[in-house]
Amino acid sequence: MRLIAAGLLAVCLVVPAALAQDPPPPPGPLRLFLDCQTNCDDSYIRTELAWVDYVRDRTSADVHVLITSQTTGGGGREYNLRFIGLRGLEGQDQERRFTVAITAPADESRIRVVRVLSLGLVRYVGDRPEAEWLFVTMARPTGGPVPSGPVHDRWNRWLFTVSGNGFFSGESRSSSSNYSGSFRARRITDNWKLDLSVSGNRSKSTFTLNDGSKFVSELNSYGGGVLLGRSLGSRTSAGFRMSAQNSTRNNEDLVLRPTAVVEFSLYPFTESTRRLVVLEYGIGAYSANYGRETVFGVTSELLARQYASLSVTMQQPWGSVSGGASFQHYLRDFSQNRLGVSGGASIRVAKGLSLNLQASYGRPRDQLSIEQVDATDEDVLLRLRQLQTNYTYFTQVGVSYSFGSIFNAVVNPRFRAGDPASGGGGFFF
């Protein structure tokens, strides 16, 4: 009896005390993991959208936002924002898209990203305490309602781009100049893709040697291409490619490669912002006129060729992966072939730990334009001529680990210019 009485007394004392205490504090602001796989102004987003907590690891977030983009037929960009609910918000996923025209002001992309990001996050704060301070307004365009129906396009979906560049640099004993220009015309619809381009580049370098003599190197290259493609469904396409090239370094007066191509995508092309696995096959001709006689003793030739390539792109919450493999050969001689493999990945291994990989390997056995005359030392050092090789490679491995505060979203733009003596910042660099 005494034990029961003591228990009742404890309950009578503890329960009122617990009820008299203040209620538990409300949860903090929504935690956001911003995962931008395209060009984003991170500082602008954090400054304009300041009512969420930005965290560095997705396992600590309430919402993971994956932002990707791709080029549109009109030369602009289509952005895709994928919202992934976490920590009690599982299953509340959504996607939002918007397009920015090529003629839009430079800051329109970041403004639209913030606006669409804010609209998407409204869904996740509706039942949270901060919803009390949430207001929704709509600013209608000046002049009336938003127009509906098809828009008249006086260019009929054609997009033209013209560019030109030139640079000059030098020191007391050396000088360099480079001129380049290009023209491109594109017309892209849901079913057709037509792309025409031409480009050229001229470079010249002059060096004063110790004996006072001058050494001058010049490299010129010109090229053009045509692509005509037709959609045959959500995953298949067929078309025609044509390229033309002139290069003093590669001993090419004129090289033409007309090719018929087909491609198959493992996933629908509508999912290209998140995942794309494409197999392409092409068969065509190789017509070449060389500047000087090649190691095979010819100055021109016409050959049949075929190739196959596989390209992979994945942008997922766990990271991103891209890569590809290609193989081509000439039908007259299977040993004259070219193999290439490349890949890269950025994978989130654990909280704050990321693994970055990049590698490529090439085996060129089809260097038909190599000159018969041996290259001089100057040709080798200044890369004035293409050299025969059995392989090429490149590798890069990196690991990054972040730890510490996951909530600091302060943006402080001070001291951006850098110290010119250390190679950063300055007026022009």
Residues ≥6 apart with Cβ < 8 Å to 46: 54, 409, 411
pLDDT at residue 381 in the model? 52
Q: Are residues 240 and 118 in the same domain?
A: no
Q: Look at residue 16 and tell me if it is in a domain.
A: no
Mean pLDDT of 225-234: 92
The domain total for the chain is: 2
Beta strands 236-247 and 252-265, pairing class: antiparallel
pLDDT at residue 149 in the model? 55
pLDDT tens column, 174-214: 899 999 999 999 888 888 999 999 999 999 999 888 888 88
The pLDDT of residue 165 is above 90? yes
Mean pLDDT of the chain: 80
Reduced to 3 states (helix: H, G, I; strand: E, B; else coil), residue 85 is strand
Q: Are residues 116 and 253 in the same domain?
A: no
Reduced to 3 states (helix: H, G, I; strand: E, B; else coil), residue 269 is helix
Identify the domain boundary among 109, 132, 155.
132
CA nearest to 252, candidates 427, 385, 425 = 385
User: Residue 334 corresponds to which tokens in the numbers above?
Assistant: 């299977």
How many angstroms separate the CA atoms of 257 and 259, rounded? 6
Q: Look at residue 105 and tell me if it is in a domain.
A: yes
Residue numbers of the domain that contains 47: 31-132
Mean pLDDT of 9-16: 48
Sheet holding 192-208: strands in order across? Answer: 158-171, 174-188, 192-208, 214-231, 236-247, 252-265, 275-290, 300-316, 319-330, 333-350, 353-364, 392-401
Q: Are residues 381 and 241 in the same domain?
A: yes
Identify the domain boundary among 108, 132, 156.
132
Q: Look at residue 146 and tell me if it is in a domain.
A: no
pLDDT at residue 201 in the model? 95
CA dihedral (140, 143, 147, 151) positive or negative: negative
Identify the domain boundary among 132, 163, 193.
132
Q: Are residues 253 and 391 in the same domain?
A: yes
Q: Dihedral, CA atoms, 371, 375, 378, 382, nearest 10 degrees?
A: 50
Mean pLDDT of 140-145: 58
Strand partners, 397: 357
Q: What percent of the chain has pLDDT over 90?
A: 25
How many angstroms separate the CA atoms of 220 and 249, rounded? 8
Q: Look at residue 159 and tell me if it is in a domain.
A: no
pLDDT tens column, 269-292: 877 777 889 999 999 999 999 988
Q: Look at residue 221 and tell me if it is in a domain.
A: no
CA nearest to 272, candidates 31, 77, 56, 34 = 77
Q: 186 with 158: CB under 8 angstroms?
A: yes
CA nearest to 294, candidates 335, 244, 257, 255 = 255
Q: Are residues 399 and 268 in the same domain?
A: yes
